[in-house]
Structure 1
């Protein structure tokens, strides 16, 4: 199956979401992730919704091969921002085996992500088996403090 492409409206919506997050209008949920572009060398930002399991924070790449995912794979040093709080982190990509149990929990811990991934054609609903099946296809990263 070919990987889905992001919808046309995603980049403009991301800009709005990032502005709202930076202004502190959104207190929980999304954060702004900034990584260095693998080609440009310039900072690239995108909204993400991290989730916590056993005291560690994780994020799932909503589209296989998304630019921010490839940038993080090339340079794992990143910054998470919510409002005025900036936190430097190192992104550690998990193996498919390590990702499976986290992907099973994703539909419960990030319910907003279910609709996003359903619209992308990656899943049909909040079924943990469908999310687990994305292991190795959608990247999962752990955020380590630096």
Structure 2
């Protein structure tokens, strides 16, 4: 089984607040606009939602799993069909997990493109200083997904 890190206790209540805020479509942390990601549960088949902050690189959108083995990551691996919701807009997408080599350059850009993720990953004990090299070294530990249009 893949590595798992137990998320902090405050994460579930905070996620509920962030999902409610994301549904308004307004920026929450400066210019970052969280999105609600909904995937089907791998065991129940029921929709499961979590707030995410996608990043855009060369016209493509990506998301980084903040915890190795996070439930939403494992759900997306089992069923890559998903929905992204921001405000009143919902978009169907297909999540494509990147290889370790494809993920490295994107992870290196993560601290610049998603600065709020730096503190989150420090708190998880995945990095210490927030340097791009530390994020690049997470390739293979933290999943990176590309969002493609759903067919």
TM-score band (shorter)?
Answer: over 0.9
> How many residue pairs end up in the alignment?
145
RMSD: 1.2
TM-score calculated relative to the size of structure 2: 0.92
Of 83, 87, 100, which aligns to 1:83?
A: 87
Number of the residue aligned with 1:16? 17
For residues 99 and 52 of structure 1, what CA distance do their matches in structure 2 show? 13
Where in structure 2 are there 5+ consecutive unaligned residues?
A: none
| Structure 1 spans left out of the alignment, 5+ residues | none
Task: Check the 8 A contact 2:22/2:33 in 1, yes or no.
Answer: no
Match of 1:31 in 2: 35
**Secondary structure at the counterpart of residue 20 of structure 2:** helix
For the 8 Å contact 1:23–1:83, the answer to whether it is kept is yes
- Which residue number in structure 2 is paired with residue 69 of structure 1? 73
Q: 2:25, 2:54 → 1: CA distance?
A: 17
Deviation at 1:145, TM superposition (A): 1.1
